[in-house]
Amino acid sequence: MKHIDRAISSSGHSPMYVMHKFFGRKQEDVIREYIKCYTNKGDLILDPFCGSGVMIGEAVKLKRKAIGLDINPMSIFISRNTLLPADITEIEREFYQISAEISHEINSLYETQCRECCMRVEAICYTWNKNNLIDVRYECPTHGKQIHPINFSDQNLYKKIQNGKIPSFFDDNGVCKYWYPQNRFLYNKSSPFLKKERYNSVNELFTIRNLISLAKLYSRIEKIENPDIRSSFKFAFTSMTHLASKMTPVRSSRPFSSAWVQQSYWYCSEYMESNVWLLFERSVKGKQGLLRAKKDLLNQNVTLNESSSIKELLTSNSHGFHLIQNSIDNLDNLEPNSVDYVITDPPYGYSIQYGELLFMWGAWIDTLNEFKEYITKEIVVNPRQNKDEVKYEQMLLSIFKRIHYLLKPFKYCTVTFHNPNLKFRNILVRTVLIAGFSLEKIVYQPPSRPSAKSLLQPFGSLEGDYFFRFKKSTIVDSTTREDIDESHLETLVVEKVIEILIKRGEPTHYTFIQNVLDPLLYEELNRTGQIMRFQPESIEKILKKYEGTVFVLVPLKFRKIGSRNLVWNAWWLKNPNDYKLKTPLSIRVSNAIEELLNTTNQITVKEVQNIVFEKFQDVITPDLNLIMEILTQKQKERMEVKD
């Protein structure tokens, strides 16, 4: 077996996964390579933190058996509805039925007039500023997409809704006829959610118009008799509820579509109010909708079967999966030394509050009755749950001890992790080592596409993930490991950053230093048999201490955005002439790409990325933005030559 020791190029998610929003969903094509590398057909794979089910889906597609656990019922709901096939004809039939019954009534709440031809059309969305309706956005068959200030009748319509004067939605007392969730963002009276701002409960996230539309739609979905089809429609429903909320800012770049852009129940003063029926229609029939997702699944040529128990899965002679809403350390019906491979993505400390963020969807589909119980099992750093870093580490340790117990000897456990803070990455490494594993390799894995955020402000946050390769060795070596102290860490960091800068041969921004430093640090600690038991400070702080003596910060013109030249500071060596520097990395990468383009006629971006990642590994893993920039540049040059 040849290990995966380098980054893998990724092209993002396929329709079966993108249909429902999730936080920190893994890149499926990267996961697939790991599963292929570390397992054979029929092997048993475990993901104790399965989230939206990517590891499980990829395992089963490759004809493995997979067990996925998550304490959050919403994660299990998303995983199950992502992975299970569904009857496409039946979904289409049901959708037309629902549409015939209620689309007209819901659309009537969004009725407006084309300002050019007076034709009645339904609004795609409205925009609000605090409590004021500002404009209406619609598409007229003759006049296309339009944006106009609201008029008297738009205003009146909303007033009627506000006063409960629409008989198909309200009773005689002006009370909405349909149920909607009113769960409060609270752990208990004195402890609100960390991620809550101004809104106090789920219903407050919506305008009244959108709330009653969602409520009516949901009550219709509840009436679907076939439980599988009902579940699929609930899945389509939660895939768009956030888009119908007020947490969707008005964006000049996308004037007709809404997005929940923060990982919190945030308040934005200028927000969208999107037509619930159109959102729902898109969630079923759109490019990223339910039908597309289920067709995508059909095209995979494997059926993803869910077994009703672990036993059934293990005794079956074909592939399949089993999902469990629980924590692996509470599970006792899996034998020790029975799992062939673990691939998992544990919670990242404080950065994503899964329990809080999944709450809004869970409130709609009613998974919150056991909220108090499952939230106590959530591994997270959250003062409102009385969980600090120590607690987080204890809980994580309990899981990894269990994983160690379940995994076959000499088998592998791939852990992916995303946290911009060395302290948390160290908690992870320390925990897994103490659980009895040995650390073999850390690979920095860039994201599939540079995110919009990273293009504008590429630096400061960690982009992409780390893939840690742990092995279940028979000798537990953590107890014999020596502590490294703070001053030694400092020396080590300085030494390794110098090494990085020499090898990259050019000023490098902190983000990229950080991306490639961990592997070097832990390789060294492994070699010397050490473990970092204290909580390290940030690498940047350490570098700052040596600014002016060993390092300097130099301005680096990095990218042109429109007419703006954005300038960032990069770390460089104070006395570069004292070292034997390599050719600047950007030049080497550029030459390599040039050579590649000269020798091959047809090559995809993905192939270029893979070849570049193969050639430039570890500390010289190039930034994805750089590869893309060079490619664009070369392409331009070629076009000019042809001209």
Span interacting with ligand SAM, options 7-15, 18-26, 404-412, 619-627, rule CB under 6 A:
18-26
CA gap 283, 20 in Å, rounded: 9
Pairing state between β 120-129 and 111-113: antiparallel
Is 378 near ligand SAM (CB under 6 A)?
yes
Q: Are the C-beta atoms of 474 and 423 separated by less than 8 Å?
A: no
Is 51 near ligand SAM (CB under 6 A)?
yes
3-state secondary structure 89-125: HHHHHHHHHHHHHHHHHHHHCCEEECCCCCCEEEEEE
Is 24 near ligand SAM (CB under 6 A)?
yes
Mark 330-360 as b/e (b = at least 16 C-beta within 10 Å): eeeebeeeebbbbbbbbbbbbbbbbbbbbbb
Closest-by-Cβ residue to ligand SAM is 51
CA gap 167, 432 in Å, rounded: 60
- Closer to ligand SAM at the Cβ: 24 or 249? 24
Is 350 near ligand SAM (CB under 6 A)?
no
**Per-residue mark of binding to ligand SAM, 241-280 (x: CB under 6 A):** ----------------------------------------
Is 522 near ligand SAM (CB under 6 A)?
no
Is 54 near ligand SAM (CB under 6 A)?
yes
Residue numbers at the binding site for Zn ion (CB under 5 A): 114, 116-117, 140, 142-143
- Closer to ligand SAM at the Cβ: 82 or 275? 82
Is 505 near ligand SAM (CB under 6 A)?
no
- Closer to ligand SAM at the Cβ: 22 or 233? 22
CB of 448 to ligand SAM, least distance (A): 13
Contacts of 545 (CB under 8 A, 6+ apart): 490
Query: What are 424's two structure tokens?
Result: 């948390």
517 SS3 class: helix
Is 458 near ligand SAM (CB under 6 A)?
no
Span interacting with ligand SAM, options 91-99, 237-245, 372-380, 593-601, rule CB under 6 A:
372-380
Is 203 near ligand SAM (CB under 6 A)?
no
- Closer to Zn ion at the Cβ: 113 or 478? 113
CA gap 466, 478 in Å, rounded: 22
CB of 52 to ligand SAM, least distance (A): 3
Q: Which of 392, 381, 400, 536 has its CA nearest to residue 478?
A: 400
Span interacting with ligand SAM, options 71-79, 173-181, 214-222, 238-246, rule CB under 6 A:
71-79
Contacts of 350 (CB under 8 A, 6+ apart): 380, 381, 382
Is 26 near ligand SAM (CB under 6 A)?
yes
Is 354 near ligand SAM (CB under 6 A)?
yes
Q: Are the C-beta atoms of 5 and 441 separated by less than 8 Å?
A: yes
Q: Are the C-beta atoms of 72 and 359 separated by less than 8 Å?
A: no
Q: Which of 602, 587, 567 has its CA nearest to residue 458?
A: 567
Tell me which residues touch ligand SAM (CB under 6 A).
Answer: 22, 24-26, 48-49, 51-52, 54, 69-72, 75, 327, 345, 347, 354, 377-379
